[in-house]
Amino acid sequence: MTALSRRTRLGYALGGISSGTYGTVPGLILMPFLTDLLGVQAAIAGMIVFAPKAWDFFLNPLAGRLSDRSRNPRGRRRPFILRAGILLALAFTAMFFGPTAPPVAAALWVLAAFLASATVYAFFQVPYLAMSAEITDDYTERTRMITWRVIVFTLAILVAGAAAPALVEAFGGVAGYRVMAGTMALLILAGTFGAWWGTRSVPLTRTEQAGGRLFAQLAIVLRQADARMLIAAFVLQAIAIGMVLGGVVYVARHVLHDPSIATLAFVCFVAPAVVLTPAWSRLSRRIGKRSGFAVATVVMTIGLLGLLTARTGEAVPMLVAAAVVGVGYAGGQLFPLAMLPDLAADDAARTGVNRIGMIAGVWSGFELLGLALGPALLGLVLSLGGYAASTGNTVPQSAGAQWAIVIGVSAIPAALCLLSLAPLRRYRLDDRLRAAAA
């Protein structure tokens, strides 16, 4: 077994600042930027948010494969993290510094810059995830390490998710989005340098070398029943969370008629994870990671159904429901991320072949696909509800559009979370690993 020092756990966790910031802000800000400032129709805006992350679905396994084959003396994954993190900050900023008219030109600029940022993010996130299976071989230690990572990741989501809409509202218009973009880029850089420096002296516990061709290795990963079941459960929940993140600004602006509620709702959603992630970690030692994931999913579903109260126009019940969602979300982040290195390390130990980056790439690709499908599905729901786009001025929305917004952040995500329990029941690796560790 390989126990990790506090410094190593913190160093690895700091990468969560970058992934939390980039993973949150586009889903929270980009659709309103397109629909409410650039005048892009909601369905098209949803597809713009979807397309770059769908591209990552295909790119991430390649990024993982390249990092698997790396022989860099400074560490197989660390050079990827540093270089890609710097480029990510630049590409993210570029999304908000393009033309603002006409809508077609503005939309194409955002799409191109978002594609660039998604490309470099693949070469940051996949090696970063793969490291979690290589720096310890202990089933329980992986949960401790991921607990630190989830806490930092959640704090990044909290800070970035609360600050991004607040900065946009404070400075207003194009200037608000550009100030926000520069601030978020600094957070991405901080996480990049923190993870790169903090893991500089960590020895690797896995020595297997990569082998075989890309598509052959990808097919092997996708044939693994446990990998398929865990990925399916996580993707369904990623779609749900993508819808909630993409819809919170719409709820605040057009249902509650108070844009500041978006920041409060986001804080209520994310803050419980900072406090309760260690509690979910302790629960996993008693009932296992799979069972803990199921419990967290049920809690999150209850909270999502509670978001239907937003249609009453009262903010307090909706904020309470958002906090319940956040309690479940804390476990919904911890458990699958702690189960991913279990999958990768078990595969390497059984086969003698290093597919850790490939597995992380498949995982990350499907996660991003889910997070991208969320806003795309939300955009479709809004269009069906008759949502009216604008070019800077707040347009009153019909009752149908308001119902579409509320259902898009509550009932539909809740149904997806319940559906995710079906594949999770068929995940068996956790039982075997718990028995081996006992």
- Assess whether pLDDT exceeds 70 at residue 218: no
At the fourth CATH level, the homologous superfamily of domain 8-201+209-437 is MFS general substrate transporter like domains (1.20.1250.20)
CB 60, CB 365: distance < 8 Å: yes
Q: Which residues contact 404 (CB under 8 A, 6 or more apart)?
A: 381, 382, 384, 385, 386, 387
How many other β-carbons are positioned within 10 Å of the β-carbon of residue 227?
A: 22
Q: Is residue 209 very low, low, confident or very high in pLDDT (cuts 50, 70, 90)?
A: low
Mean pLDDT across 187-191: 96
| 41-66 residue pLDDT tens | 888 888 888 788 778 878 888 888 78
Mean pLDDT across 52-81: 77
Gap between the Cα atoms of 250 and 262, Å rounded: 8
Mean pLDDT across 200-221: 61
CB 36, CB 174: distance < 8 Å: no
Tell me: cis bond preceding 102? Omega within 30 of 0 counts.
yes
Task: Characterise 392 by phi-psi region: left (phi > 0), alpha (psi -120 to 50), beta (else).
Answer: left
Mean pLDDT across 15-37: 88
| Of 330, 318, 328, nearest in space to 273 by CA | 330
Gap between the Cα atoms of 270 and 292, Å rounded: 19
CB 300, CB 332: distance < 8 Å: yes
Mean pLDDT across 375-391: 84
First-to-last alpha carbon distance for the chain, in angstroms, is 13
| 257-295 residue pLDDT tens | 888 888 788 788 888 877 888 899 899 889 999 999 999
Report the pLDDT value the prediction gives residue 393, as an integer from 0 to 100: 63
Report the pLDDT value the prediction gives residue 129, as an integer from 0 to 100: 85
Q: Is residue 337 very low, low, confident or very high in pLDDT (cuts 50, 70, 90)?
A: confident
DSSP one-letter code for 255: I
Averaged confidence pLDDT in the chain = 85
- Choose the most confident range, by mean pLDDT, from 12-16, 31-35, 77-81: 12-16
Report the pLDDT value the prediction gives residue 74, as an integer from 0 to 100: 56
Percent of the chain with pLDDT over 70: 92
Provide the CB-side half-sphere exposure for 360 (13 A, CA): 30
Question: 298 or 133: which carries more pLDDT confidence?
Answer: 298
Can you give the pTM of this predicted structure?
0.75
- Assess whether pLDDT exceeds 80 at residue 210: no
Report the pLDDT value the prediction gives residue 276, as an integer from 0 to 100: 87
| Of 370, 397, 378, 373, nearest in space to 386 by CA | 397
- Assess whether pLDDT exceeds 60 at residue 76: yes
